[in-house]
């Protein structure tokens, strides 16, 4: 069984549209934290460029089906 963890990001989750949010990292997303893009679809959610803050805060505010790293 897979355990789903959903973290409460409160005001640090900034909604850009009903389906797209920025998860603001520590210090306003300054290095090394960065910001994370979260896209919610009708059936799946995708996290783009997860920051170290996502791990520190215990995960995303919704279950994530895929992670995309746009750069290495």
Please say if the pLDDT value at position 2 is more than 80. Answer: no
Taking the whole predicted model, whether its pTM rises above 0.85 is answered as yes
The pLDDT tens digits of the residues spanning 13-70 come to: 999 999 999 999 999 999 989 999 999 999 999 999 999 999 999 999 999 999 999 9
pLDDT at residue number 4: 66
C-alpha to C-alpha distance for 29 and 51, rounded to whole angstroms? 9
* Cβ neighbours of residue 7 closer than 8 Å, sequence gap 6 or more: 54, 57, 58, 59, 60, 61
C-alpha to C-alpha distance for 25 and 65, rounded to whole angstroms? 21
Helices H / strands E in the chain, number of each: 2, 5
C-alpha to C-alpha distance for 46 and 55, rounded to whole angstroms? 16
pLDDT band per the 50, 70, 90 thresholds, residue 1: low
Going from N- to C-terminal start, the domains of the chain cover 10-68
C-alpha to C-alpha distance for 61 and 23, rounded to whole angstroms? 9
**Better-predicted residue by pLDDT, 6 or 48:** 48
């Amino acid at each position: 069984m897979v355990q789903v963890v959903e973290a409460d990001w409160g005001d640090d989750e900034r909604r850009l549209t009903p389906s797209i949010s920025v998860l603001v990292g520590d210090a306003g997303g300054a290095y090394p934290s960065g910001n994370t893009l979260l896209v919610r679809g009708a059936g799946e959610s995708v996290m783009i460029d997860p920051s170290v803050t996502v791990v520190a805060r215990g995960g995303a505010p919704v279950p994530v089906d895929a992670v995309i790293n746009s750069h290495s």
